[in-house]
A and B are shown apart, each in its own frame.
Chain A
């Protein structure tokens, strides 16, 4: 939505501005932490940097990141496998929409995070809980995006194909799905963002591993530099995941304006 600084015409200048801003931020932070003089409360940027290096060196950072990412990919796959066919059905068939829309509208306002206590009883502490919560969180944005993508398909194309006697299945695969893809990819990005938020909450409360768990573990030990290192990792991975999906949209649907939007 906003313009990307690193993509502005003056690319090098953008990089300079970026580092200047971040350096100013780090300086302010360092000054504040020197004034606080309490590593458990507000460690200096250097201490956090050291914690990142140490955690990376003994691979702990990557281990927890890999676990969280694995859960993320699994839930995303499940959510896409459920939501996209359902969205295609609800977008093309009036009956399916009339039947299922009330259920969707009742469940959708209940955030994934609100399911955590009940899901703890259903699944216990382990992999199933975060995967369930993340799948739930990713499901609704993907479903709604697919439906609105299908609705946005040019009626005249479908009518033209139908007039020429193209079978319904071919219309679906050659017209509806390609036309709905840009909107679907945006929806997947929204789903990922929502699931990535939920993973931290789910792991914070009910998983024996992962980034959320690691944050909580080091908080209880009052090792704040490590807490901040894992928080930075969550931000970085969220950013990279989104960047990868944006790159994918540009590749798959170079014609769509959504592919360039943020």
Chain B
């Protein structure tokens, strides 16, 4: 059985690698047939990746962007989770606040960016506030949904036993809503990472390179000033890798914190 399973694994790995390798080969061949100075090739991209990592530029940019993401994400969570809990458990709060949430939710964070630049300048605070705005809505919506999904029997049982509301919130509602809050946090972290790239790109584009660093800004400088496509591709790969690691990391943390949900 195990022999058969491992026997099946090798061809699967081979099949999995086939198309990516084929695409890399096509990319190499195409750039070899039409060589220009700037066209990125796999070899040049790999070289650029090594250079940028060795010089510390790439890790620094990623860390700057990550710092903003975590800052904005923390602000969003600190506002959105209490609001979501209040909206989910008190009908009056939901009725009165929901119109506001639903009116702003369809407005993409990037659309707010020009206002953020106007109010806060092209520094870190504009980028952080865009991230916070982007991450806010998925957390609120999922927290409210989580609170609504708490088993009403438990709530009634607690009420019958005369447990006060604060204790009910702490011991029944929050644990019951946690899995859904976790989903909201995961969505929000993904959205936040996308938003920071957009914000840094646009800040770079609008501040004429005088922005405040980060990987999005780096991409813009490679695009507009030094015209290094290989390095842009390296940045794109880094963006993808960080997104992947963020999602897997948060998923692992949530699974540890809440083994009862999956």
- Using Cβ atoms and an 8 Å threshold, which residues of chain B touch A67? none
> 1/0 per residue B124-146: CB within 8 Å of A?
00000000000000000110110
A101: nearest chain-B partner, CB-CB:
B16
Q: Judge whether B54 is part of the interface by a CB distance below 8 angstroms.
A: no
Q: A21-B100, A216-B206 are in contact. Are A235 and B106 (CB under 8 A)?
A: yes
Number of interface residues of A (CB under 8 A): 57
Q: Are B18 and A99 in contact (CB under 8 A)?
A: yes
- Using Cβ atoms and an 8 Å threshold, which residues of chain A touch B243? 109-111
Q: Are B237 and A231 in contact (CB under 8 A)?
A: no
Nearest Cβ distance between residue B7 and chain A, in whole angstroms?
15
Interface with B: A74-82, A116-124, A158-166, which one?
A: A116-124
Q: Are A5 and B202 in contact (CB under 8 A)?
A: no
- Using Cβ atoms and an 8 Å threshold, which residues of chain B touch A228? 115
> 1/0 per residue A202-216: CB within 8 Å of B?
001100000110011
**B 143-192 contacts with A by CB, 8 A:** 144-145, 148
Q: Judge whether A255 is part of the interface by a CB distance below 8 angstroms.
A: no
Number of interface residues of B (CB under 8 A): 63
Q: Provide the bound-state CA to CA distance between A228 and B95, in Å.
A: 26
Which of A2, A17, A120 is B96 in contact with, Cβ under 8 Å?
A17
Q: Judge whether A114 is part of the interface by a CB distance below 8 angstroms.
A: yes
Q: A98-B16, A111-B197 are in contact. Are A2 and B144 (CB under 8 A)?
A: yes
Q: Are A215 and B111 in contact (CB under 8 A)?
A: yes
Q: Judge whether B117 is part of the interface by a CB distance below 8 angstroms.
A: yes
Q: Provide the bound-state CA to CA distance between A223 and B44, in Å.
A: 45
Q: Are B239 and A216 in contact (CB under 8 A)?
A: no
Q: Provide the bound-state CA to CA distance between A118 and B97, in Å.
A: 41
Q: Are A118 and B198 in contact (CB under 8 A)?
A: no
Q: A111-B243, A238-B108 are in contact. Are A1 and B144 (CB under 8 A)?
A: yes
Q: Are A115 and B236 in contact (CB under 8 A)?
A: yes
Q: Are B111 and A212 in contact (CB under 8 A)?
A: yes
Which of A204, A219, A239 is B106 in contact with, Cβ under 8 Å?
A239
Q: Are A109 and B241 in contact (CB under 8 A)?
A: yes
Interface with B: A56-64, A167-175, A193-201, which one?
A: A193-201
Q: Provide the bound-state CA to CA distance between A106 and B21, in Å.
A: 12
Residue pairs across A and B with Cβ atoms less than 8 A apart, 5 shown, are: A5-B99, A101-B16, A113-B198, A114-B240, A231-B115
Q: Chain A interface (Cβ within 8 Å of chain B)?
A: 1-3, 5, 14, 17-18, 20-22, 25, 40-41, 95, 98-103, 106-111, 113-118, 120-121, 196-197, 200-201, 204-205, 211-212, 215-216, 219, 222, 224, 227-228, 231-232, 234-236, 238-239, 242
